Chain A
């Protein structure tokens, strides 16, 4: 069975600094997709960034980038130049060709301080 683990329940960072959120996963599939979602107090899940497992190049979306290590089954999220609006819960998630659903980690609560 696929699992997603986020070992950091809470993180904090000062505005304009860089922070990295960790995620590891377990799967026997070779072709799959990984996502980072942001959940602000409004509760709506917002897609931050995605990575296709067969692509070795790490995904980047503006201030957000990932460090995807397929052999280690690691998928960390780096937020550069942190902004107050980045304060939220962040969830790592997995889906695969044989897994229609998204499987989420338990989340990391990120607090950005001025």
Chain B
């Protein structure tokens, strides 16, 4: 596609519910990142994929957070047993490679706003 697509745009979950957030990167982009942006804060790194390999998951806040990218394209971020502190915007970004990130930055989606009630 022309850009990074994320769905749903908004998600309201009851505390304890499981949620799945989807990211469709730009076609051919090998690198994919997930960020969490709390209200009034800058995005914070969650995890990074190169193709289907999850190379860095150091930012995932707990074992309730899980991300996958089984075929090296679409990625899903899953949050189990959601809690109120999980309320945030979840941003996905992709790039065609390390060199491209340095030259062009990252292409971001518009995010999913998750509200846990």
Task: List residues of chain A with CB under 8 Å of any chain B CB.
Answer: 4, 6, 33, 35, 37, 42-47, 50, 52, 91, 93, 95, 100-107
Please determine whether B102 and A100 come into contact, CB atoms closer than 8 angstroms.
Answer: no
- Count: A-B pairs, CB below 8 Å: 63
Which residues from chain A contact B110 at a C-beta distance below 8 Å? Answer: 42-44
A17–B52 CA distance with the chains assembled, in angstroms: 47
**B residues with CB within 8 A of A:** 31, 33, 35, 40-45, 48, 55-56, 59, 89, 91, 93, 98, 101-106, 108-111, 113
| C-alpha gap A109/B94 in the complex (Å) | 25
What are 27 A-B pairs at a CB distance below 8 A? A4-B42, A33-B102, A42-B110, A43-B91, A43-B111, A43-B113, A44-B108, A44-B109, A44-B110, A47-B104, A50-B103, A50-B104, A91-B42, A100-B56, A101-B33, A101-B45, A101-B56, A101-B59, A102-B45, A102-B93, A103-B45, A104-B43, A106-B40, A106-B42, A107-B40, A107-B41, A107-B42
